[in-house]
Amino acid sequence: MSRLDIVLALVLVACALAVIQAQHRARTYFVELERLKKEARVLDEQWGKLQLEQSTWANPARVDALARTQLGLVAPPPERVRVETLVGAP
């Protein structure tokens, strides 16, 4: 075997190992990507639930009912209400 044949065989082995390493890395990245996609779907679902819960808790009728029952708040009498308008406002 000549020296060139040995060098070419070593280059071939190095290239084969590089291909194997690249394929392994690609598979590892793909698995990580799928895991992150699944986590994103779970977080999106949780975000939707939280938005629904927030809209339920912030419902004006609910806030009014809680203010009246738990805090004992009442609407002021009409003579205590004063409406201000801006000068020059349309």
**Cα–Cα distance, 81 to 1 (Å, whole number):** 104
Q: Is 3 contained in some domain?
A: yes
Q: Is 51 contained in some domain?
A: yes
Asked if the model's pLDDT at residue 1 lies above 80, the reply is: no
Q: Work out how many domains the chain is built from and give that number.
A: 1
Q: Is 74 contained in some domain?
A: no
DSSP state of 33: H
Q: Work out the widest C-alpha separation in the chain, in whole angstroms.
A: 110
Q: Is 80 contained in some domain?
A: no
Q: Is 57 helix (H, G, I), strand (E, B) or coil?
A: helix
**Which residue matches tokens 């000068």?**
87
Domain that holds residue 26: 1-57
Q: Is 9 contained in some domain?
A: yes
**% residues pLDDT > 90 (the chain):** 89
Asked if the model's pLDDT at residue 90 lies above 70, the reply is: no
Q: Is 82 contained in some domain?
A: no
List pLDDT tens digits, range 58-79. Answer: 999 999 999 999 999 998 999 9
pLDDT in the model for residue 89: 63
pLDDT in the model for residue 19: 97
Q: Is 32 contained in some domain?
A: yes
